[in-house]
Amino acid sequence: MESNEQIIVGLDIGTTKIACLVGKKNDYGKLELLGIGKSESVGVRRGVVSHITPAVQAIQKALEEAKLNSGYQINVVNVGIAGQHIKSLQHRGVITRDNMEDEITQKDMNDLIEDMHKLVLPPGESIIHVLPQDFIVDNESGIKDPIGMSGIRLEANFHIITGLVTAVQNIYKCVRKAGLEVADLTLEPLASADAVLSSEEKEAGVALVDIGGGTTDIAIFQDGIIRHTAVIPFGGNIITDDIKEGCTIIRKQAEQLKVKFGSALASENQANDIVVIPGLSGREPKEISVKNLAHIIQARMEEIIEQVYFEIRNSGFERKLIAGIVITGGGAQLKHLPQLFEYLTGMDTRIGYPTEHLASGNEDISSPMFSTGVGLVLKGFEYAEKQRQKSPTITHQKQSKKKLGLFDKILTKGKEWFEEDEEA
């Protein structure tokens, strides 16, 4: 592998699918995806790992496919976390500096963030992210970047995201059992936001709604700052369950019906459109009205949108979201969904595709279902950059090109030894 080539891997452990994306940045700073692996998710329920062994097997399957497609040996991954246990809170931190004359540096900001990690939380919870919103230097408020300023007292308002320790540990356990190391853990709606939102939208005010299989994740931005995050424990799978019950068919058929003929607005469908489903084991075929199917989907979708709208109102930014709502995730592919969102919330709505930072030629993964995976790769580059600033000797997360010859292997090994000696 070329020394200047940095390869980052994003691993999206979802309720419905597990996606492993291998990417690098091209000369123009755009993300180029080298390979993707996808497998059906087993052992994950509502965004949380509930059964380790099948989850590990599903991760390995996605991993093997990604290795095969990209030609890279994958060792380190950036993983996403979601689930009902995720909470967010606002907090203010402060540090007093020794010398007023010295400029505020990145180290001062890191100290302030580090201080927030010592926050006392309820038992069983741990901090996942500490996100600075704005800074206050010697009572001068509303500062976005205080580096280079002079001042004694440095304060910041933080958006802190917490989750259950056990849920975090189970993700780490699954990844390690699959033979990988975790570089960084990212809240999934933050990753999706990186993939589908433009900086103008974040500045204007926008609510990102990521509708997955088991959860619906929300991230609200305004003035380019994250303002609110929430996870709703409903997603596309609950709609499939409703279709299964309402039409008395098996789950697989219900999922196919939803994907091929599903619509979020019953009024958009003709009353006489009928879908015929083969009967089980020689039984009579079943006729299902597309309009009735849409009624079932709309009822559940309205419930999810109501919860999303409650979170938007709860954030206090409802009137400030000029860019409205952006929906992404697998559930965003449902027909007429933006119209239903606009009808129920009165807010401008569009579907978010993860093409914002993608290089051309990656059209095959421009589906909203890959938003989180693409976002995790982008977050991986962000994290690697931060690590490089802290310790310039770290060049990149170690992913190596496969099929190295024996001579290349000896050279690579020798280079690693020298690097280790230098670091020591």
Domains and CATH numbers, the chain: 87-165 (3.30.1490.110), 199-352 (3.30.420.40)
pLDDT at 1 over 50: no
Q: Positive or negative, the Cα torsion across 234, 240, 243, 244?
A: negative
65, two tokens: 């496919």
For residue 113, the model assigns a pLDDT of 92
What are the phi and psi torsion angles at 376 (to 5°)?
-65, -35
Query: 20-57 in b/e burial notation, b at 16+ Cβ within 10 A?
Result: bbbbbbeeeeebbbbbbbbbebbbbbbbbbeeeeebbb
**What integer best gives the mean pLDDT of the chain?**
87
Average pLDDT over residues 142-169: 92
Average pLDDT over residues 358-372: 81
Between these two residues, 390 and 183, which has the higher pLDDT value? 183
- Residue 268: pLDDT band with limits 50, 70, 90: confident
d(CA 110, CA 90) in angstroms, rounded, equals 18
Between these two residues, 401 and 259, which has the higher pLDDT value? 259
Class of residue 203 by CB neighbours under 10 A (exposed 0-12, middle 13-18, buried 19+): middle
| Block residue for tokens 């421009």 | 366
For residue 68, the model assigns a pLDDT of 92
Question: What is the tens place of the pLDDT at every residue in 54-78?
Answer: 999 999 999 999 999 888 899 999 9
For residue 418, the model assigns a pLDDT of 47
Find residue 103's DSSP bridge partners: 150
Give the CA diameter of the chain.
Answer: 85
Give the list of residues 6+ apart from residue 350 with CB closer than 8 angstroms, or none.
Answer: 324, 325, 326, 327, 338
297, 324 Cβ separation under 8 angstroms: no
Between these two residues, 402 and 300, which has the higher pLDDT value? 300
165, two tokens: 């320790």
77, two tokens: 């991954």
3-class SS of residue 38? strand
For residue 23, the model assigns a pLDDT of 92
Inter-CA distances, 12 with 95, 229, 270, Å: 36, 18, 38
